[in-house]
Each structure stands twice: as structure tokens, then as C-alpha cells.
Structure 1
């Protein structure tokens, strides 16, 4: 039994050792800076889908079946590649750009899978591939820039290069941690020529600054010398002033006696003047008390009485003005009432007078109409009589107006101041006879005119008769 038990224990121990050896053989652990790529069967990897043919393990352990699955490691360490690229700028100037690219495989599963497909057995070829990618894009970007742009803004060159290479690096499963441009070599000397004006300007500014410094130093030295001379002059002036004070003190000591006497006399004069001023002030105050104050009081009294009388007169005048105003208002009211009554009476009287005037006008119009009718009838009757017996009518008119006709004929002698008759009484008779003859001639003329008016228009006008004129 003990032997059997020992055999069983040995078998169990051997089995355990075998199992431990198999576990160690099958168990693989990924280091922090590496990824395990396990192939040999279909696996499902997070973010990659099904049927990829391998799985990726990072940062943990996993079981691998020996002989069925293969395990390979993919380094996640940093890598770098030196860039030395010959380029030509937009101006046609050849340059050599030197830099460095620091890159690594991305930490995500997609980047690790892309890198595993491309670099799993060729990880040493990654720097060369990255150099090729960056060299091509760097030449293209430099060809669109000028030398000045590259020198003044290297960040722009770096940014454009990283942006241009980003897509291709992502396809390779790589990410760029850093891109630096170390140096831009210029075999033609273009950059050196660009710096010469600035160097000359700097040299010029340095010379100007040195000259300015020399000038300032010279001015400072001269100012120091001037201050030394000024200090010497001030010292001599002070010494001379002190000597003058000593001389004045000695002279004052010599003149102390006469000056004391003069000062005493001056003080006496001053005191006497002060006494005279006080006396004058006393007299002025006495005059104010004796004369001016009583005069001011009397003037104030007179002014007060005058103002009281003026106020009384003003009050009386205002009372009289108020009384007059009230009387005028009463009289205006009375006049307004009388005017209203008179207007009413006038309106009634006017209406009566208008009625009377209207009646009177109607009566006068009727009378004028009657007279007009009567005159019209008389004129019509005379016209009829004239048409029937013109000579009778004319004779009647001449008879009625004969005295006036004779008077008009005699009027020719009214302006005669002196008349001389040659044949005495007979001359006077002849004169009157001729005047009457003129009247008869006028009667015959009137008859002919009436006859002419009664004849038809085609009849010839009668010949004019001459009127005899007798000289005085």
C-alpha cells in the first residue's frame, strides 16, 4: 500500500508538472510597449469586425495554442528618421532642408492592424518608408513657398507638411509625434545675400550707437568740467561775499555812533508824527460826533416825513382813481342802457319813417307818371298841330317869344359905349327899323326851316338868305 500510494502521488505530481509546463508554453503576455499579433484562426477584435484572421492583444496575457496559432510581437516604441531633402523654392532657388520626424504606431486597434499588415516582419523599414513620404510632400510644399517665407515662418512649413502627410501616415498605422526643421542649407548663397543688408544695417546701427555713446561721453565730460568750473566760481563768489560781509561789518562798526544818533532823531520824528496823526484822528471823531451825526438824524427825519407824505398822496390818488373808475363804470352802464333805449326808439321811428317815405314815394311816382303822360299827350297834340298847320304854330311861338327876340336883337347895341348918329332922329329911326327887320328876317328863316323839315328828304335845300348888316 505505501508503495502504491507513492506511485499515485508521483503520477499526480508529474501530471501537475506537465500541466504547468503546458500552461507556461501556451500563455503569452504583451509588454506595455508592444502588441501581440496572434494568427491561425478567425477572431473578433473590437473595432475591426469579424473575419480579420488575427487578433491583437495589448497590455494583458492570453492563451495561445502551440502548433495551431502563431504569436508575433509588434513594437510600439518611438522611431525617428532624419530628413535630408533637396528642394527647389517657388523662386527657383535650390535648398537643402534638414530635419527629423519622430513617429510611432498608433495606440488604437485600427492603427496597430494597419501597421501589422505592412510592417510586422519589416519594422526596420519603417524609417525609410516615412522618409520617402515626408520627402515627397516636403518638396511639393517648398516648391510653393519663397525663401523668405521659409525663413520667417518655419511653423507654416511644418504645419503644411504634417497636414499633407497625415492621411498617408494614417493608412500606414503611424502617427507623427514631432516634426522639426533643423536647418535650411543654401548652396547658392541666396540666404547669405539676404542677410547682408540686415548685417550692414546692424553694423551701421552699431557704429551710430558707438558714435552716440562717444558723443554722450564727451558731453558728460564737458558737463563735468563745466560743473567743476561752476563750483569754483560759486566758491569764489561765496568767498567774496563773506569778505564783503566782513567789510560791511567793519564799516558798520565805524559808523555805529553817527547811525545811533540819526536813529534816535528819526525815532523822535516818528513819535511826533504819530502824535500829530492821533490828534487829527481825535478831531475828526469829534467832528463826526458834533456835526455829522446830528445832520444825518435831521436828514433822516426830513426824508421819513417826505416819504410819509408821498405815501399819503399816493393813497389819496389811488382812492380818487378808484372812485373815478367806479363813477365811469356807472356812467358807462347808464349810457349803455340809454343807448339801448334810444336804439330801440330809433328803430321804431325809422320803421315808421320808412313806411311814410315809401307811401310818399309811391304818391310822387304816381304824380310824376301823370305829369309825364300829360306832357306826352301835349307834345303829341302839338306835333299833330304842327303837322297840320306849321305856320300857325310857328307864328304862335314867335308871338309868344317876340319880346325876347326883340330884346336879343337890341342886345347887339348893349356893348356900344358911344354911338354917333349923322342924321339925327332919322338915323335913330332907321337903326330901330333895321333891328326889327332882323327879327322879321329871322321869322322868315324859321318858316323856311319848318317848310324844309316838312318836305321829303329828296328835295333840294333852300338857298341861304343874307342878313343885312348895318355899320354903326
Structure 2
């Protein structure tokens, strides 16, 4: 019973000791450092009595309640840089980069980092960004854009060197600093590269043109060589084709020639066999067949020759008959043509005679019409002359009577001319009745008397013209009496023959 109790107590004590040991033992991971505070410790490289102990890569005992254990990460950290800077030339730029850093592995760096970032490890990147941003602005301010572009490593080295002391105080080391991009919002870098880009483009175009020229020349030479090779090849192919055609023709002829030679040999052999057979049978058939056959052959030959001569005679007779028929037909056609020509000639002569007779009749008719018209004109002229002469005599003997006659004949026209003044009057008012009417008619008669005076003047002028006409009529009568036919001269009409009927 006592042994069991002792054994249980020992077991409990062992368990308690193991639990206490496990509770007090701390092990540092490879990427972290244990910072133990709560008692004075001497750490290599640090002042004595710093009040904390640093453990890396191993285990250590920690007294619970008396010491505090915290971890400091030794992993890599990254901080993005985006800094607005101004160069020595006053050109604004934006520099973009990245800083990769970590807590140093030595106890001094771990101690410095523990003092500054033990409870603020998540803000470590912001602190590093601020440090590098300040130094980067300062360094860019002392450089030109050209220097930054041509020697970016110089910018990186100066920035890293300037930030090294401060990073060491923070217990941090920089594993890498890279400047990724330099942004130029003003376009200075682009304009700076423009001449070089233009020169490069120019050189590229020149090189491309030169390459095109060389390529074109090479292509032309290659095309010429290809054409030459094609020509030579075609010539060779033509020669080979001619040889092949010749060989093929020879081969094609060789078969028929061989066949013909073989057939000739067969025929020769068959002929020999036939000759032997014929010679053998000749003796046998000499007496039985040949003489009767000769007789029959002679008979057939004679009959054939007679038939041939008969056909020849018939053909000759047919040809003669055809010749005679053709000659007769030619004679008939010739006779018909001559008859048609004579008939045509007779019809032409008849048509010409008819045309001539028609022309002569038309000429005689025209002449008769001309004479009749001349006689009529002469008679009319003589009648007019007699009338003018009679009127002139009447005027000479009794002018007043003639005037009165002319006035009587033209009295309606004279009255109409006198009353023309009243033609546009719509209404007329007579104030004195019958006396007014009498006065109006008296005025009309007065107008008529004025018309009579004018008529007399006209008649006087007509008398002089009448005397002239009388003289002209007398001259015309004398000319008519002097003409051979006793008639007025006439124009002679020449009959025109119809040329369409002359043959």
C-alpha cells in the first residue's frame, strides 16, 4: 500500500516536472529571434545589464511569471517605393522601385530592431519607405535626367549608401534595392529620345530600302537564272522528247515489222507447203480436173470478156448520148438567148419610137397652145386699146357727159364717203325738225359737191394717162400689124424628149 502511494507520488512528481519543463522551455525557430526580458543578462556585443536576452536558433529556459518571451521575425520584408522627385534641371519625375530588407542576424541588429519594432513589426515597411523616399529625393535633386537614364545603377548605389547608416541604426539590412521605372509626366524623356528614335527609324528605313534593293537585284538575278535554267531544261527535255519519240516510233514500227517478217516467213513456209501440196495434187488432178477446169475457165473468161465489151459499148453509147443531149441543150439555150435578145431589142426600138411620137405630139400641142394664147392676148390688147381710144375720144368731145356718167356709176360710193363722218354717231338730236333734216342733207350734198370737184381733178389726171395709153396702144397695133403672122410675138417652146425611152 505504501509502495503504491510512493510510486504514485513519484509519478505525479515526474509528470509535474515534465509539465514545468515544457512550460519553461522555449525554442527559437530559424527565422525568428526570442527576446527574453525580466532579468539582467550579458549579451555578446551589447552593454551589460540591457535587461533582455536574445536567443536565436536554439532553446532556453524561461521562468514563468519572472521573465517575458516575445518573438521578432527575421523574415524578408518588402516596401514599394513611389516617390515624386525633381531633378537638377527642375524636371518633375516619379521614381518607382522596391526595397527588400530584413532584421540583421547579429545580436546588435536584433537588439536595435527589438527596441524599435518589437510591437510594431507591421509598420516596418512604412518606416523604411520614408527613409528611402527622403534620400531618393535628395539624390535625384543632384542629378540630371540624362544621368539617371544612362547610369541608373549610380542612382541605386547612392540611395543605398545614403540609407545604410540609418538602416543600421534601425537594425535592418537591405538585401535588394531596385529602381523599376522613372515616370516623366512632362514628356521630357520622350522628347529626349525623339532625335535618336528618328535617327534609328531613318537608319532602319535606309537599311530596309538597301535590303529591298539587294533583295530585288537578287530576285531578278535569280529569276534570270531560273529562266535560263528553264530554257536549258526545256531544250534538253525537247531533245530527250525527240529521242523518246524516235525510239517510240522505232519501237512501234518494230512490232509490225517483226510481225510482218514472221508473217512473211509463215507465208513462205505455207507457200512452200502449198507448192508441194499443189505439186503433189497436180499430178493427181492433171487428168481429172485441170482440163475440164481449163475449159470452164476459158468459157467463163470468154463470157466475162464479152460482158465487159458489152458494158464498155453501152457506156460509150451512153456517153455519146449524153454528149449529144448536152450539145442539143446548149444549142437550145443559145437559140433561146438570141431570141430573147432580139425580142428585147425590138421592145426597146418600139419604146423609143413611142417615146419619140409622144414627144412630137406634145411639142405640137404646146405650139398650138402657144399660138392660141398669143392670139387671145393680141385680141385682148386690141380690145383694151379700142376701149381706151373710144374713152379718150368721148372725153375729148363731151367731157362733162363722161364725168357725169362716171359720177353716176360711182354715186353710191361718193355718198357713202360723204356720210362716213356720221358713221360713228349713235344718237342725233334735230332741234329744228324738218328744216334741220334739210340742212343736214344739204351738207351731205355739199360734201358730195366737194367730191365732184375732186372727181373732176382725178378725171383730168386720168385724161393725160389715157392719152399715153392711147399712144402705147397705137404702137402695139402697129407692131402687131408688122409681125409676119399678124399676131403678137410668142415664146417658142422646145419639146423635150424622154431620155428614159431612147435606146
Query: Which TM-score applies when normalising by structure 1?
Result: 0.48
Query: Which TM-score applies when normalising by structure 2?
Result: 0.45
